[in-house]
Structure 1
């Protein structure tokens, strides 16, 4: 039986709505110029680590797919299969979608704001039918099942879909010795870390994953991470970036 493969998690580069400090959720913006640079630097870190993915998974949203395109160009690996999975999409932020975080903090107050944004079970009020319909017409959601586009969602809901995806798709590939790169979002990757590291609700509520920083997981034969929490390929820069995310209120 082969040794387990390596899994690397990468949050997409900064999007234009990230740059405006808005709740992006299921909206489908492109990368900002900073995000494009972050994706290129991530590709360079993967090259320096001699990481060659056998399979690459993204969400169905443009910002992860464009990050993948840039990373593979830097790796000079045009033949790596790229598989888009809605289970890796960002959380639905409901009525907060597209709103400026600073405005919502002022409007809601810190306790409600944190409960809706960071708690395990909290979900914002649902978005309107009009807003949901506009998102449904996006190419990113064409042909997807109804459960791929919810009017609102808690982190708990994201964990449920990501856990199924881990067992059905990622786990078998890693057990077979494949090296897998997953390019996702702040919340879908937090959910995957919860599954991998068996994080408590309190731990995952405090977890922040910065854009553009590859996080590496190596496993024992039972697929238990050798290092709980994984290892960033550039740990100092990643810690600094994660601290900035935390200071801004979290992923």
Structure 2
């Protein structure tokens, strides 16, 4: 179908940490951008009147963590384990789509990971917005942070064994790894994410396309850190809630001019 893009990215061994990846299909074809309007509240109170008067072209980006998964509900480390949404997560995804539709948000292309909790969230959102025929790009680079042998273990178990403060540093710190083979730090996540941002997502935004990225908590933290230029220390305070849309309006250099939590 001409609205769906196809290209192939071969996934190799990345920094000898993640293991052998599968080949995945990604896509890249021209699409027509559409106008945007929003009735949402700007929590930063940073109006764009001056930009509009000066004729500054703005790009719109929506970041969305998937709805609650079965392991989120059980407070387990999920990582690359392919766990589905809970019933609550399905309802959260529906609510996110409805919120975005009521806000007048128009999406021209959607990106998501290879994990079903993100993919299902994306399709539920697009269905609620009547946008199921837009191009969709799936990439391993948007997968959740890998936790190695910690995947499947409960947060409570880890805190009991290692101490709550130590686990918090592993979870929230930028450079910290869990003590397990093949685990990633948030820095690792950002490094494998940025080629997709720089090579495809940024190109779509600069062409005026409305972009939706449906991904995972740590992947979105890494992307927000890059977009907002948050320090390694301050990123520890950022929480990304399930199925809560985050809208950015970006200038021509993709610097944020406004951020809206919908």
State the TM-score bracket (shorter-chain normalisation): 0.7 to 0.9
Using structure 2 for the length normalisation, give the TM-score.
0.77
- CA drift of 1:2 comes to 8.7
- Residue 77 in structure 1 maps to residue 106 in structure 2: no
Name the counterpart of 2:164: 110
Q: Measure how far apart 1:126 and its partner are.
A: 2.5
Contact 2:56–2:251, Cα closer than 8 Å, also in 1: no
Aligned to 2:173: 119
How many residue pairs align between the two structures?
208
Structure 2 residue matching 1:201: 3-state secondary structure: coil
Contact 1:2 1:176 in 2 (8 A): no
Measure the CA separation in 1 of the matches of 2:171 and 2:244: 22
Report the CA distance between 1:194 and its aligned residue. Answer: 0.7
The structure with the greater share of residues assigned to helix is 1
Match of 2:213 among 182, 190, 196: 182
Provide the C-alpha distance between the structure 1 equivalents of 2:216 and 2:90, rounded to a whole number of angstroms: 15
Deviates more, 1:103-112 or 1:193-202: 103-112
2-structure distance, mates of 1:207, 1:159: 15
Q: Give the root-mean-square deviation of aligned CA atoms.
A: 1.4
Runs (4+) of structure 1 moved beyond 6 Å?
none
Aligned with 1:183: secondary structure?
strand
1:137 corresponds to which residue? none
Equivalent of 1:218 in 233, 237, 249? 249
The structure that is strand-richer by fraction is 2
Task: Determine the structure 2 residue equivalent to 1:231.
Answer: 260
C-alpha contact 2:59 2:254 (8 A) present in aligned 1: no
What secondary structure is seen at the aligned counterpart in 1 of 2:101? helix
Unaligned runs of 5+ in 2: 1-54
- TM-score normalised according to structure 1 size: 0.80
Q: Distance in 2 between matches of 1:181 and 1:97?
A: 27
Give unmatched runs, 5+ long, in structure 1: 128-150, 234-251
Aligned to 2:116: 62
